[in-house]
Amino acid sequence: MNPLEVTGLSVRRADGRELVRDLSLALAPGERLGLIGESGSGKSLTALAVMGLLPAGMTSGGSVLLSGTQVIGTPDRRLDRVRGRAAAVVFQEPLTALDPLMRIGRQLAEPIRRHRGLRGVRLRAAVLDALAEVRLPERVAGAYPHEISGGQRQRAAIAMALACEPRLLIADEPTTALDVTVQAEILALLDGLVTERGMALLFISHDLAVVADVADRVAVLKDGSMVESGRTRDIVREPRHAYTRALVNSAWALESELDRLAP
């Protein structure tokens, strides 16, 4: 059974405007798919629809299966049993994804208690193990989100997402809010954890160079529609759609300019 199967997904606003249209994709165990496009192309809305977390006033159609469980049309109380186990998500800005009034350790403990049924000493041990896995010290468990750095917050968010051993991890622009050095550390961390656990990864980004390093396959979104998909190396070397060619050319032009400016 695939961790994710999306067929004919659409997302509409209350006024009927279609923001994502007829999107289909699938992820096998251990596979990595990069979803790329400019701002407003529908990438993040796709992630929210997959998790059943669309904002109020938006509706979805089609089919989204998380490890065989239908997301669209399923009540939140049933999806709560799926989120965290079948799939989990890491958002772009951890300071808004984390509860500012709750210590990191307690935030980690909540999904572990709910989905894995641990209590007491075993629960605390699982929390500390989760922190250690993302290379955070034990003291972070007692800290509030504002008391740790941006990179540490994103590591904590990754720990929360992985705490219940999901089959699918969705990473929605997970490094955009971080500086270049920390970005590289977080990407290396994600790469190692996804490989070690054999999870499927849906990696969302506007940065083709990053996606090329992370993903086996790429799907390109423009104005809510998929315009091209295929193996990453094929898309990068021989893009077929004009929009994809523009993305590729922009990425390589920026890389060349950075190389020129490097000391």
Pick the CATH number of 4-93+168-261 from 3.30.9.10, 1.10.10.10, 3.40.50.300, 3.30.470.20: 3.40.50.300
Burial class (CB in 10 A: 0-12, 13-18, 19+), 44: middle
pLDDT tens-digit series, residues 128-151: 999 999 999 999 999 999 999 988
Residues 143-160: what's their mean pLDDT? Answer: 92
Of the candidate ranges 15-24, 99-108, 111-120, 173-182, the one whose mean pLDDT is the lowest = 173-182
pLDDT score for 263: 46
pLDDT score for 88: 93
Q: For residues 257 and 209, is the Cβ–Cβ distance under 8 A?
A: no
Residue 169 reports pLDDT greater than 60: yes
Q: How sure is the predictor about 171, in pLDDT bands with cuts at 50, 70 and 90?
A: very high
Q: How sure is the predictor about 241, in pLDDT bands with cuts at 50, 70 and 90?
A: very high
Full-prediction pTM beyond 0.85?
yes
Residue 258 reports pLDDT greater than 50: no
Q: What residue segments make up the domains of the chain, in order of their start?
A: 4-93+168-261
pLDDT tens-digit series, residues 36-83: 998 889 999 999 999 999 998 999 999 999 999 999 999 988 898 889
Residue 256 reports pLDDT greater than 90: no
Higher pLDDT, 251 or 230: 230
pLDDT score for 32: 96
pLDDT tens-digit series, residues 173-216: 888 767 778 888 888 988 998 999 999 999 999 888 888 889 99
Percentage of the chain surpassing pLDDT 70? 95
Q: How sure is the predictor about 252, in pLDDT bands with cuts at 50, 70 and 90?
A: low
pLDDT score for 260: 40
